[in-house]
Amino acid sequence: MRSFALVLVAVAATAAAGPSAATQEEAFVVKETVQPPSAWVKHSTPSPDHIIKLRIALPQPNFDILERLLYDVSDPYHENYGLHLSKEEVEMLVAPEEESAKAVAEWLETHGFMEEDLELSPAGDWVTIRVPVQLAEEMLNTKYHVYKHAAADEYIVRTTSYSLPAFLHSHVELVQPTTVFGSLKAFRSTIVLPDEVMKAATDASGKMLLSDAATNCTGTITVDCIKLLYNATDYSPDPTLNNSIGITGYLEEYANYDDLQLFYADQLPEALNSSFDYISVNGGQNNQSADAAGGEADLDVQFAFGLSYPIKNATFWSTAGSPPFIPDLGTPTNTNEPYTEWLDFVLGQDNVPWVISTSYGDDEQTVPEAFARRVCAGFAQLGARGVSLLFSSGDAGVGDGESDPADTSCISNDGKNATKFLAGFPASCPYVTAVGGTTLNADAEEVAVTRFFSGAGFSDYFERPPYQNDTVEAYLATLPNGTYDGLYNRTGRAFPDVAAFGDRYRVFWGGEPVLIGGTSASSPAFAGIVALLNDARLGAGLPPLGFLNPFFYSKGAAGFNDITVGNSTGCGTSGFNASVGWDPVTGLGSPNFGLLKELALAKNEDC
C-alpha cells in the first residue's frame, strides 16, 4: 500500500499553482442530513475560532473480505477457527484505495492543510485535522450550532447537514463530528449506600461474611457469589500464561487503587497488593483522590479483575472527552465521541487484551447510521485479531425502562415522531457481545432484573447476522401474531447475546462499601468469566476465543443457564419476555463456566 504521506507529497507538487479544476468547479452535494434528537435543543452559535477535531473516513473497499475472515476464525466448526489475523493483515484489508487517498489529500491541500497538519490512522483509512468552525463550515458547506441537552448540563457543537464537492463523495465515507448527537452514558442504574441488606451480610466492622456468601447472594453479590453460581469455584488461572483483560473508562470515571485494595481485603485477600495498568487515551487522567473515584470505574475493575485474578495483565484505559463543549470556555479539549477515540488508539496498538468490557453506550438512533457502521467495522477489526469485545446492553428495557403510556421518550428520530422501541449502540453492533442483566429472586432463582430493565431489542441499522438466525427466528415464532408490530425491526440484529448478574454488587467506592446495579455490572463480570475461559484454552495450547458470538450461538450454546422469567419493560409496554432458549431480555442466558470450559476445549467430534 502506498502511504498517505507519499500521496500528499505528490499532490503538493502538482497543487502549487492552485486548486484542481475538479475542486474549483464541482458543486457541493449533500452528504448527510439528520433530525436532531428531541432531547437536543439549539442553544447558540459557536465562536468562529472554536476548534473542531474533524475526522474524515475513507472507504474500506475490502471490508467484506475482513468480515468473512472474522467469521471464519470465530466459527468453531470452520477449519480456520482460532487463526486470528495480525494487526498488519487487518490494516491491509481496511486500507483505502490510493485514488481515494489522493482525492482527499488534494482537497485538504486546497484548504491549506499540509502533511504535518494531518493525523493518519495506521491503515490510512481515517484522516484527522484540527480546524476552526469557520473553516469547517466552508469546507463542508454547512453551519454549526451549539446544542444543549434538555435533561443534562451538556453541550455539543454539531450540524444537522453537511456537503462535500461531488467528486469527493465516492472517496469519503463520512465526516465527523457533524451529525452525531449521542450522549454517552454509563449503564449503571443504581448506587445504594450501606443499608439493612448490607448490614445483614456484614459483621460489626463492616467486613463481608464470606463464609455466608451463598446465602447472602440474593441480597449482595460478591466475587464468591459469581464463582459459586456460575460454576467457577474450582478453577485457578495460571498467572504465567500470556492472558489479559481490559476495562474502558470514560466521562472522567477514575479507577481508584485504594478502593481496589479495600475490595480485595474484603472479598479476595490473596489478591492484595496486585493492581492494574493505567493507560491514558486522548489525555485521559488518573486522578487518585478519594473524591474523584468513579463508582462505574471501581465497579468494573474490581469485579473484572477480581474474577480473573491471578491473571496479571489487567488494563484500565482512561479516555478523555467529557463534556465535549462548555460555551463559556470557548474551546473544548475534544468534540468526538470518546469511545471512537479509544477505538482509534487501541487499533494502533500491537498488543491488545484478549477480552475487553465496556459499560457505556448511546441510543442507536442518536448515532447516524453511517457513523455507527464505521465504528462497528472498527470493532470487527479487533475481533479478527482475536479480541473478545463485551458491551453492556443498557438499563432501559426496550427504550425508556418505564411502563407509563404517557411517556414520550420512545419516539423515532426520523422526522415522523413515531412511537418505537429504541435499540442501544454499540450493543447493536453484530461484531460485539452484548450482555444483559439478571438477579436472584427470593427463591434463589436467576431471573431477568426487576429493579431496572435489561436493554434489549432489535437494531434498525444492522441486519441480523447469520450466527443468530435460527435462535432469533425460534423466539419470534413464539410471539403471538402482531405482537409489537411496527415498534421494532424483526430482521435486525437482536440483542443481548448473553447475560450475567446485574444487581446489588458489593463495591468499594471512595473508601466505603456500596451496592451498585445495572448491566454496567453484568458486562465486566462476564468479561472475567471469558478471561478464565481464555486461560483454559491458552493452558491447553489453544488460541483465545476471540469474537465470541459464533461460538456461543453454536457449539457453546449448551454452556448457558437458560433464564425464562422476566421482561424488558419500556415504551408503555411490558416489552419482550424471557423464555426457553434465546430471548431479547437475557440472550442465551448466564454462563456456566464449567460447561463452557469443556465446550471451549472439546474437539468437535466430542460434542
For 32-66, the pLDDT digits (tens) are 999 888 788 899 999 999 889 899 999 999 999 99
Say yes or no: 538 and 577 in one domain: yes
Q: Say if 391 falls within a structural domain.
A: yes
Which residue among 67, 296, 341, 400 is the active-site one? Answer: 296
Residues 177 and 194 in one domain: no
Domain for residue 268, yes or no? yes
414 marked ligand binding residue: no
Question: Is the bond leading into 59 cis (omega within 30 degrees of zero)?
Answer: no
Give the residue numbers spanning the domain of 116. Answer: 11-60+95-181
Model pLDDT for residues 471-526, shown as the tens digit of each residue: 999 999 999 998 999 999 999 999 999 999 999 999 999 999 999 999 999 999 99
- 532 versus 148: the higher-pLDDT residue is 532
Range in 13-22, 226-235, 410-419 the model is least confident about: 13-22
Q: What is the pLDDT of residue 356?
A: 98
Answer yes or no: is 499 within a domain.
yes
Does 198 lie in the same domain as 149?
A: no
Higher-scoring residue by pLDDT: 215, 133: 133
CATH of the domain at 473: 3.40.50.200
User: In this structure, is residue 190 part of a structural domain?
Assistant: yes
Indicate the residue among 124, 156, 181 that finishes a domain.
Answer: 181
> What are the pLDDT digits (tens) for 59-104?
999 999 999 999 999 999 999 999 999 999 999 999 999 999 999 9
List the grid coordinates of 492. 435486525
Q: What share of the chain has pLDDT > 70, as a percent?
A: 86
Please tell me the total count of domains within the chain: 2
pLDDT band at 320 (very low <50, low <70, confident <90, very high): confident
Same domain, 545 and 480: yes
> Among residues 67, 75, 298, 300, which one is catalytic?
300
Ordered strands of the 185-186 beta sheet: 185-186, 360-363, 424-425
Annotation-wise, does 563 bind a ligand? yes
Q: What percent of the chain has pLDDT over 90?
A: 69
pLDDT, position 12: 43
One domain, residues 539 and 568: yes
How distant, in Å, are the alpha carbons of 43, 263, 325, 525 from that of 318? Answer: 30, 20, 19, 19
Average pLDDT for the chain: 87
Distance CA 291, CA 277 (A): 21
- Considering the domain boundaries, does residue 151 fall inside one? yes
546 annotated as belonging to a binding site for a ligand: no
> Residues 239, 375: one domain?
yes
| Domain-embedded: residue 273 | yes
pTM listed for this prediction? 0.91
- Run of H or E including 88: helix 87-94
Catalytic residue list contains 238: no
Inter-helix orientation angle 257-267/295-308, to 10° = 50
Q: Which of 209-213, 344-348, 546-550 has the lowest mean pLDDT?
A: 209-213
- Please identify, among 137, 156, 181, the residue that sits at the C-terminal boundary of a domain: 181
What pLDDT score was predicted for residue 24?
44
Consult the annotation and say whether 581 binds a ligand: yes
Asked if the model's pLDDT at residue 20 lies above 50, the reply is: no
Per-residue pLDDT at 300 exceeds 70 = yes
User: Are residues 216 and 334 both part of a single domain?
Assistant: yes
Q: CA 471, 456, 185 angle in degrees (round to 5)?
A: 140
Asked if 131 and 199 sit in the same domain, the reply is no
Q: Is residue 386 part of a domain?
A: yes
User: Same domain for 158 and 203?
Assistant: no
Catalytic residue among 520, 522, 523, 579, which?
A: 520
Asked whether residue 175 is domain-assigned, the answer is yes
Tell me the pLDDT tens digit for each residue of 216-271: 788 899 999 999 999 999 999 999 999 999 999 988 899 999 999 999 999 999 99
User: What is residue 353's predicted lDDT score, i.e. its pLDDT?
Assistant: 98
Residues 145-159 have pLDDT tens digits of 999 888 777 888 999
Separation of alpha carbons 549 and 557, rounded Å: 10
- Asked if 488 contacts 571 with a C-beta cutoff of 8 angstroms, the reply is no
Do 379 and 473 sit in the same domain of this protein?
A: yes
Predicted local confidence at residue 433, as pLDDT: 98
Interatomic CA distance for residues 148 and 43, integer angstroms? 6
Q: Between these two residues, 381 and 201, which has the higher pLDDT value?
A: 381
Q: Assess whether 296 carries a catalytic annotation.
A: yes
Are residues 391 and 517 located together in one domain of the fold?
Answer: yes
